[in-house]
Chains A and B, each alone.
Chain A
Amino acid sequence: MKKVYANATDALDGVLSDGMLIAAGGFGLCGIPELLLEAIKESGAKDLTFASNNAGVDDFGIGILLQTKQVKKMISSYVGENAEFMRQYLAGELELEFNPQGTLAERMRAGGAGIPGFYTKTGVGTVIAEGKEHKDFNGETYIMEEGIFADLAIVKAWKADDTGNLIFRKTARNFNVPAATCGKVCVAEVEEIVPRGSLDPDAIHLPGIYVHRIIQGSHEKRIEQRTTRKKEDA
């Protein structure tokens, strides 16, 4: 089966629909599927729910879909860098479900692993626990969280082969792995598609079984907080 597509628009053809749940990889602006997000914007798909750790900034990442009001709901752990997000949220135009970061990652991992629910200590005794099943194990209280089963996963990797085996680079791996696994369909954008056999099988971060469509493209890879030190300080 051919997995490689010419561009983001082609790769999303037939998999987008209004009201769908999309799991997106990335942390902040690091390792986000920027080309696929741009193509979703162009598609006009609306009433989307995104499970994504963050919501981008106003003009990059998921932020561009907030500008066009294509997002109905966000499932995120931190949305602090986005003024338009706050405006829509406070105006009641956007739903927001806060998940602790580790709970969000595990919900995706669980969904991808066929686990509909799991118990965690995270959030016990906080607003996060309200309305959730509580259960004691060995004298400690846990709450039940549900796996995320997304209609579509969009992720960004460094390299892929044409069978969809993926390798990520440094901290750009982040949510891309759990997000990819929890989608019914996973579309990956990469910096380079390399010939089959040129990736070390022992070094694959995400096996191609999870990846259905791949595109190669050039990425802006914007830096959110550029912090440096002076040579003389070293």
Chain B
Amino acid sequence: MPWDRNQMAARAAQELEDGMYVNLGIGIPTLVANYVGDKDITLQSENGMLGMGPFPFEGEEDPDLINAGKQTITELSRTSYFDSATSFGMIRGGKIAAAVLGAMEVDEEGDLANWMIPGVLVKGMGGAMDLVAGVGRVIVVMDHTNKHGKSKLLKKCTLPLTGKKVVNRIITNLGVLDVADGGLKIVETAEGVTEDEIRSATEATIVN
């Protein structure tokens, strides 16, 4: 059985180590926060906060306290606030250990496309280009194939890039792959999924 959204998020949470400062993207990456367990993880929100807490209780929303997805959130006892230039200073400066991000396409060189589909309404890259250029480790969480069954793990990205040679690890509904010399390397398969199934769902070169 391929992993569902929550299982992918839970698997991504295993990538995070005690003491890490981490940035989680929008979508499935946001769910990763639910699975960090007892690990001491500090979440960064690039609009200017370290130590992001859960959603507020109804009636306790604060318009001055939002995350990068513009959702109302809460602070923790460890929380600090800062301006956007400082926030991206710590991102670009390599202080954030890892980012977990969604993707439209990833290729065997580690190129990532997740901000723009030509001909479709362009919303902007937000902080994604800064994150992939700056953080210590980029972990992508995505479906292995699109709704037509075509691989999203490609030999070469076709969409405009967010970053070149930036992805370290890819967690899909079928398993976990690393960007390695010469292609992608299968690290793990979802329970009941075979390596052959991953190979046939992957356009990118698979290396041993």
Q: Residues of A with Cβ closer than 8 Å to B?
A: 27-31, 53, 76-81, 86, 90, 98, 100-103, 105-106, 108-109, 120-128, 158, 168-178, 205, 221-231, 234
Contact = CB atoms under 8 A, between A and B. Distances in A.
A221 B66 contact: no
A206 to B, nearest CB: 9
Given A102-B92, A105-B88, A128-B129, A234 B71 contact: no
Contacts, number: 183
Main secondary structure of the interface of A (DSSP, over half): loop
Contacts of B85: 105-106, 108-109, 177-178
B45 interface: yes
A122 B133 contact: yes
Contact of A102 (B63, B67, B111, B130): B130
B126 interface: yes
A53 B63 contact: no
Contact of B164 (A100, A108, A124, A231): A124
Contacts of A79: 123-124
B64 A28 contact: no
B84 A28 contact: no
27 contacts: A27-B48, A27-B84, A31-B64, A76-B124, A77-B126, A79-B123, A102-B87, A106-B88, A120-B133, A124-B133, A125-B111, A125-B163, A126-B163, A170-B62, A170-B65, A171-B65, A171-B67, A171-B81, A173-B82, A174-B48, A174-B84, A176-B83, A177-B83, A177-B85, A205-B83, A227-B73, A228-B55
B160 A224 contact: no
Given A27-B47, A125-B165, A174-B84, 10 more contacts: A27-B84, A77-B126, A100-B125, A101-B126, A102-B88, A103-B130, A173-B82, A223-B66, A225-B71, A229-B56
A30 B126 CA distance: 15
B124 A223 contact: no
Contacts of A173: 48, 81-83
A131 to B, nearest CB: 15
B72 interface: yes
B64 A169 contact: yes
B163 to A, nearest CB: 7
Interface in B133-185: 133-134, 160-165
A73 B66 CA distance: 27
B46 interface: yes
A126 B81 contact: no
B92 A122 contact: yes
B61 interface: yes
Given A28-B66, A80-B124, A126 B61 contact: no
A98 B125 contact: yes
Contacts of A229: 54-57
Contacts of A78: 123-126
Given A170-B64, A173-B48, A225-B71, A126 B56 contact: no
B195 interface: no
Interface in B80-98: 81-85, 87-89, 91-92
